[in-house]
Structure 1
Amino acid sequence: MTVREVRIGTVLRPNRRWVKVDELAEYVAIVVRGFGRGIFHYEPTVGSDLGKLRFFRVESDSLVVSNIKAWEGAVAVSGSSEDGTIASNRFLSYEPIDGQADVNFLRHYLLTEEGNQRLQRASPGSADRNRTLAASRFEDILVPLPSPSEQQRIVARLDRVASTAAGLGRTRAPLARVKARVLAIAEASALPARPMKDLVRAARTPIDIEADQSYRPLGVRSFGKGLIRYPATKGEDLSKLRYYSVQPNRLVVSNIKAWEGAVAMTCDGDEDLVASTRFLQWEVADPAAVDLQYLRLFFATQMGLSLLGRASPGSADRNRTLSSPRFLDISIPLPPLAQQQRLVDLAHQIETIEAQLQQRDVVSSALLPAARNEAFAGLT
């Protein structure tokens, strides 16, 4: 296979055709996202609101590059959906000369590690906002260029990988809809209401912190995203707050972030954690009436967040503190215990799948960059 190294300017030519903006006409402007994430369309706007930049008409099958964000992979190829849109003079646009180069081949190459390094070298500057790519420097970048048929073969392969990675991400949408329906059932206002003071009781046992001993403090993530189990640290490095032991199967509520859903459950193995006075701990008071996991689920709903917010008064985030008496005064709609447990089981299944998807996301996000680097490794 013969591979030439050529200047971009010998195989692509500029195709920015400037438009005279009509202040009364409506336009759709586009930008190119960084890290190879494609083209974004702004909402339609009238010409008088476009600002003082110059604009050109975007044409399909063009290589479009941000001249201020090229160094972080703001490179894309326009499609039919971009026909009729406009882009400002912050973007470079090119079309092939005599079919020598496939613009998608060049896009994939410029998004490899080697291609990005060449874009960075062509975008000098010491700060992000000063790293501007001039058209002349872009056109001087050298790229490996095999035959048109080999270019198309590489593009087809990489597009298949991209489609596979995108498909993995789309799994989240239907899963999110199922979880939303589960939460909607949990907050059904037609259910009989019970005050928290009938359902839970405080479960905090104070401990003395020894300066030379190691302790693992806990935290609670907002929006129902679970516990934070911090690494062990010496007692002398902990805050000066009072600390309490932790036991499994406790509902833990951050008293300064409850208003944004910082509610979680402890589990087996959390006995080696400690919790500061910033965290309220609760155990079930009436096992025949409530499942603590159901309470965790409920306080992730819009109704649950609203109730926590009203019980956490204050005008600023740092002053919105939830006291134990206010928490116990909250009344919540409570279905029968069997229904609570069915909802908890379903939510647990969904959360297990979400955790698996997060792990898969790590793999899929690395899939296309790795495939690009591999595809071009033999060309340079």
Structure 2
Amino acid sequence: MPTDIYPMVGVRSFGGGCFASGEISGSETRYPRLLHLAAGDFVYPKLMAWEGAFAFVPEALAGGFVSPEFCTFEVNESQADPRYLHYLFQRPETWREVARNSAGTNVRRRRLYPGGFLDHEIQLPSIAEQRRIVAQLHEVLERVRASTEMLRRSVLLSEALPVTAAHRSDTADGERVARGWTHTSLGEVLTPAPDEVIVDPATSYPNLGILSFGRGLFEKPPIDGAQTSAKKLFRVHADQFIYSRLFAFEGAYGVVDESFDGYYVSNEFPCFDVDTRRVHPRFLAAYFRSPSVWEALAIRSKGLGVRRQRVQPEAILDYEIWLPSLAEQNQIARMVELGHASDRLRSRMNTHLDALRVAALNQAFDHSR
């Protein structure tokens, strides 16, 4: 009905499970009908099956709806344990095998229709054997999940610690002064430093971007001097403070590390030299990871609509902060560096844990054949 409200459900790729994708009214959908989901239904989107978007509907999402672009099935539990099928469809090899029955020529637009899905053959041991495999996998994968969660929490803690230390919102102004902190505008310690370069059509320029939410810098494809419409670019240097005018509202601030020294950006990325006699660049990196700073500076933005507002350099330079002593800033900088090391370790460990998870799935189902 046009006036009815329908809670919609989506399915994440790579075996990520179901999620609530918001509500729509009957008047907001172009489909004449929607598919109603029950707990335990097996569901997948026709278009994303090739990258593992298979899931079972949990109790929390029972009663939700999907569009006709999804396929839903009930499990014959006299033949198959749903938990066994759940683990089977967590396996990348299963996704690749099932995807061979998809229709279409463009890989990313191929659809897996119900007929092609149901034609796929699997090895199905006895119910007792399925349950034995499920029990073994649950034990191993639960340990993998617990290890992954422990790593995630440790990184969150290591990231939060320098931000908290840089702000010390629990400390009164008088105590800050007694500890050697000073109150100053950023214009006292930052100097705009545009290193302008005229674009040469015969040159390729290494390029960087800034991740939102204070997550640092990342490498972008190089800028081809013959292809870009820009007449000039700006070279950045190690230990400069840099931000994105357009995405400052969501924390696109950072400090240039050695690996990006000599890279180039457009004029949408103002750069500043840091007075290192008073400020450690890594202290600024920690300070600008706080959402309260992004919000305060966004208020000074110009533009129509939150996502089009630009924070101008003048707003940065006028912004006032409390600066700890250099000794405290050095401690905070070490926390930042330890956080980066922790994040790299977590990334490596997660790679190993993902490999262990896939290996456990492969071993279980290869041995069940």
When normalised by structure 1's length, the TM-score is 0.71
Once structures 1 and 2 are overlaid, which stretch shifts more, 305-314 or 69-78? Answer: 69-78
Instruction: Give the equivalent residue in structure 1 for 2:203.
Output: 213
1:376 aligns with 2:355: no
Quote how far apart the aligned CAs of 1:366 are: 4.3
Question: Equivalent residue of 1:154, what SS?
Answer: helix
Instruction: Give the equivalent residue in structure 2 for 1:105.
Output: 84
Instruction: Give the equivalent residue in structure 2 for 1:12.
Output: none
1:330 aligns with 2:319: yes
Question: Equivalent residue of 1:283, what SS?
Answer: strand
Question: Equivalent residue of 2:75, what SS?
Answer: strand
Superposition map of 1:74-85 within 5 A: 75-76=54-55, 82=59
Superposition map of 1:148-297 within 5 A: 148=127, 150-170=129-149, 171-177=151-157, 179-188=159-168, 190-191=172-173, 193-285=183-275, 287=277, 289-297=278-286
User: Which deviations, in whole Å up to 9, do the C-alpha atoms of 1:313-343 show, x marking residues without a partner?
Assistant: 2224675333333321111122222222222
User: Which deviations, in whole Å up to 9, do the C-alpha atoms of 1:217-263 show, x marking residues without a partner?
Assistant: 33322222222333545433344243333322211222333332222
Quote how far apart the aligned CAs of 1:169 are: 2.5
Question: Equivalent residue of 1:96, what SS?
Answer: coil
Q: Distance in 2 between matches of 1:130 and 1:273?
A: 39
**Unpaired segments of 5 or more residues in structure 1?**
1-27, 44-50
Instruction: Give the equivalent residue in structure 1 for 2:288.
Output: 299
Paired residue total: 346
**Paired residue type of 1:259:** F
Q: Distance in 1 between matches of 2:65 and 2:201?
A: 61
**Unpaired segments of 5 or more residues in structure 2?**
1-6, 23-31, 174-181
User: Contact 1:241–1:277 (CA<8 Å) still a contact in 2?
Assistant: no
Q: Distance in 2 between matches of 1:86 and 1:257?
A: 38
Superposition map of 1:5-154 within 5 A: 34-38=13-17, 58=39, 64-66=42-44, 71=49, 73=52, 75-76=54-55, 82=59, 86=63, 91-97=72-78, 101-113=80-92, 115-116=94-95, 119-120=98-99, 134=114, 141-148=120-127, 150-154=129-133
Distance 1:375 1:281, change over 3 A: same
User: Which deviations, in whole Å up to 9, do the C-alpha atoms of 1:158-200 show, x marking residues without a partner?
Assistant: 3334223322321213532453354234234544531111112
Instruction: Give the equivalent residue in structure 1 for 2:333.
Output: 344
User: Contact 2:242–2:255 (CA<8 Å) still a contact in 1?
Assistant: yes
Between Structure 1 and Structure 2, whose CA radius of gyration is higher?
1
Distance 1:207 1:180, change over 3 A: same
Root mean square deviation of aligned Cα: 4.4
Q: Distance in 2 between matches of 1:84 and 1:221?
A: 33
Quote how far apart the aligned CAs of 1:129 are: 11
User: Contact 1:67–1:133 (CA<8 Å) still a contact in 2?
Assistant: no
User: Contact 2:162–2:336 (CA<8 Å) still a contact in 1?
Assistant: yes
Once structures 1 and 2 are overlaid, which stretch shifts more, 161-170 or 150-159? Answer: 150-159
